[in-house]
A and B are shown apart, each in its own frame.
Chain A
């Protein structure tokens, strides 16, 4: 007996509103199918009508959580096309903002994971501390989310002594809090029990399905563009690629917590070794006809921009491959043979985005053709009921 469950097109754990059709047999998901296009705005076409500079602000608005990732990826590519090199100080500030963005994104994700697992106080804690990062970003760039700090040939704002001190002070608080979360996670058996073994993705599958970011790293593959193909200043910054080999949602949580600490180290290194000098160079208005592929490790994985110029002040083509797209195939794999109740968690694990609160799931009874609409909250309640039956591990193992 098989059912079809459409989820979406609005779902909080997905970046774009997306529709998902799942075939289930009882509680077990047998097949899943994705439908895209609800959030399609025609951005790539729009980019062809705007100048190189205007497009920075357009690419920033591809995604609100990794806005800096998209602009940096785009700007790196355009700089290559225009054959200019941003000054060292500009680069340091650019990648400083990148790492701060990674911190804010991972804290956000931890909160979402806590929320989906039914651990709402964790959600409130991490989002409270996320405000510290938002404050730092606001002092650097003047805005909380879309920083608008990149420009072709460098960055638009400089850092002063006071800001550096403010960042270092806040970093100490963040470090302390993150240690607390790590501790909380390790000693919270119900949290660990809820995450362990959910959304299994083996190492082979992760590679075959081209998963990216923390998803692939949690399957034991040390893949990180910052290490594999260092761009910008990453060649000279010491950091480690964090992996886990549990291949499940727990592993993805571990990878992200570990990455938080790496981010703090990188930020500290960048601030302590901040070179002096200008932050930007003048960029030409036109780029010679050429094409370029730019890679960037966004908080969620590898981000790729393909840019083609034709000698004018506008790009001829801009193609964006966001990391979430790379993870869709793997998500379907993870969903297969899982429980319906785990769907929110598995979604949340590939891509942390709690963008919309209204969510409905329609259960279609294949025999009678009847549709039942249940809200995502009811689904979550169901998920808690399922997990309540699980045996609690007293001394839960946390592979940190």
Chain B
């Protein structure tokens, strides 16, 4: 009963933490744009949170620079279970144009496990919403 309830509430209000790990900012502003009136993700119960301790879903942008690696791991560990990671943008998926640069690890999945990949450079806000919805469907199933 209780697990059913938590499962239900988890589906209804995924709180996200937005983390920039060396992105060029374009993906970041598109994630923020998804919160503003035109796209308005709050109608799905998606809320942007400021601290990892409140979040269910980490939305990562950027190719994971060397200096951000430890921080990324720390933030992942601070997020309470069950946690999910969405890699937003070509950078977070594979490194994008920065692939091969000396300070870039190339993709978030080199550092932490990723559940959903959202392609695009930058992603459209609708794609971010779609990614979160896909994740929710995955949880339902």
Contacts and interface: CB of A to CB of B under 8 A. Distances in A.
Contacts of B104: 41-42
Contacts of A356: 18-20, 28
Contacts of A10: 19-20, 71
B98 A353 contact: no
B9 interface: no
B122 A146 contact: yes
Contacts of B98: 41-43, 46, 61
B51 A64 contact: no
Measured as residues with beta carbon below 8 angstroms from the partner, the interface class of chain B is 35 or more
B129 to A, nearest CB: 15
Measured as residues with beta carbon below 8 angstroms from the partner, the interface class of chain A is 35 or more
Interface in A114-164: 123-124, 127-128, 130-131, 134, 144-146
A58 interface: yes
Contacts of A131: 33, 36, 38
B37 A43 contact: no
Interface in A319-359: 353-359
A299 to B, nearest CB: 13
B71 A9 contact: yes
A57 interface: yes
Contacts of B116: none
A40 B18 contact: no
Contact of A360 (B36, B51, B101): B51
B52 to A, nearest CB: 6
Q: What DSSP secondary structure best describes chain A's contact surface?
A: loop
B22 to A, nearest CB: 5
A64 B24 contact: yes
Interface in B38-59: 38, 48-52
A42 B102 contact: yes
B94 interface: no
Nearest to A39: B22
Q: What DSSP secondary structure best describes chain B's contact surface?
A: mixed
Interface in A6-21: 9-10, 15, 17
A375 B54 CA distance: 12
A377 interface: yes
B103 interface: yes
A359 B50 contact: yes
A354 B97 contact: no
B67 interface: yes
A379 B19 CA distance: 19
A357 B103 CA distance: 24
Contact of B29 (A9, A37, A40, A355): A355
Contact of B36 (A61, A127, A358): A127
B75 A42 contact: no
A17 B20 contact: yes
Nearest to B75: A358
Contacts of A38: 22, 65, 67-68, 71
Contacts of A123: 36
Which residue, A15, A17, A130, A131, has most C-beta atoms of chain B within 10 A? A17
Given A356-B19, A376-B50, A41 B28 contact: no
Contact of B24 (A17, A61, A144): A61
A67 interface: yes
B25 A357 contact: no
Given A41-B63, A58-B97, A356-B19, A64 B25 contact: yes
Nearest to A145: B26
A274 interface: no
A355 B60 CA distance: 11
A65 interface: yes
Contacts of A359: 50
Given A38-B65, A359-B50, 20 more contacts: A9-B67, A37-B67, A39-B62, A39-B65, A39-B68, A43-B98, A61-B97, A127-B37, A128-B37, A130-B36, A353-B25, A353-B28, A355-B23, A355-B25, A356-B19, A357-B17, A357-B49, A358-B18, A358-B52, A375-B50
The 7 closest A-B pairs by CB, nearest first: A64-B26, A355-B28, A64-B25, A127-B36, A42-B101, A145-B26, A356-B20
